[in-house]
């Protein structure tokens, strides 16, 4: 009888432990997945920063004139694509499906006409996705292009701050992650389930803590 009671208590204890593990596992897996993407984003940003330093060093007068003579946003975007294509191993022969859509961290969709809406997307050599957008400068210190990277490629969630991050590109070849000019309070608010997730690009680079969102 005593042995049977011991086995029953032992079994109950195992079931409780197993239940706790099951409850914690999704959070643990999600956090590990996010941590891996943040690490990948930091690596991608450093590579892109180096890429633009090389492009700047080899920027010719002919290339400068081509940008100055470009008549439309699309023309300038195509010129920028040509510049970064060999470094990012962009494959323009393979089309990203039209069903591919970007969403913000609060799960709303990025709509046409919004600042962070991109018309075109391209595959990179590692299967990730890049987008380039020409920006109209109101002031000399404004960016001239913005660029986004979906590190997870076409696979979901395709959300800013989860697997999608981005940079500003300036006239002098300098780049900065989205959100670099905001306060920590603003970064924490935006890089949350109620925010857009846009500024996670900078928030995570400076060591901002992430939660399961």
Return the pLDDT at 130: 98
Where are the domains positioned within the chain?
Answer: 31-203
Q: What is the mean pLDDT of each run of 10 residues along the chain (213 residues)?
A: 50 44 42 88 97 94 93 96 96 95 96 96 96 93 96 96 97 95 96 96 88 51
Return the pLDDT at 31: 75
Return the pLDDT at 25: 38
Q: By three-state DSSP, how is residue 172 classified?
A: coil
Name the DSSP class of 110.
Answer: P
3-state secondary structure 13-29: HHHHHHHHHHHHHHHHH
Name the pTM for this structure: 0.84
Max intra-chain CA distance, the chain = 92
Return the pLDDT at 79: 96
Whether 122 and 177 have beta carbons less than 8 Å apart is answered as no
Return the pLDDT at 108: 97
State residue 32 phi and psi, 5-degree precision.
-65, -40
Return the pLDDT at 26: 47
Q: How far apart are CA 90 and CA 110, in angstroms?
A: 23
Return the pLDDT at 67: 93
Q: How far apart are CA 83 and CA 132, in angstroms?
A: 12
Whether 79 and 66 have beta carbons less than 8 Å apart is answered as yes
């Amino acid at each position: 009888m005593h042995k049977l009671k011991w086995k029953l208590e032992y079994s109950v204890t195992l079931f409780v432990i197993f239940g706790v593990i099951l409850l914690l596992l999704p959070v643990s897996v999600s956090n590990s997945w996010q941590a891996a993407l943040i690490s990948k984003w930091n690596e991608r940003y450093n590579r892109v920063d180096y890429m633009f330093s090389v492009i700047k060093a080899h920027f010719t007068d002919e290339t400068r004139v081509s940008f100055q003579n470009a008549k439309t946003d699309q023309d300038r975007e195509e010129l920028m694509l040509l510049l970064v294509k060999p470094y990012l191993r962009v494959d323009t022969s393979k089309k990203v499906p039209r069903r591919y859509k970007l969403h913000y961290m609060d799960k709303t969709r990025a709509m046409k006409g919004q600042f962070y809406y991109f018309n075109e997307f391209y595959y990179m050599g590692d299967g990730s996705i890049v987008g380039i957008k020409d920006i109209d400068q109101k002031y000399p210190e404004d960016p001239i292009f913005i660029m986004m990277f979906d590190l997870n490629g076409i696979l979901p969630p395709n959300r800013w701050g989860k697997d999608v991050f981005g940079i500003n590109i300036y006239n002098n070849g300098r780049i900065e992650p989205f959100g670099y000019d905001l306060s920590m309070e603003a970064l924490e608010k935006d890089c949350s389930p109620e925010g857009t997730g846009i500024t996670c690009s900078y928030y995570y680079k400076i060591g901002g803590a992430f939660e399961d969102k």
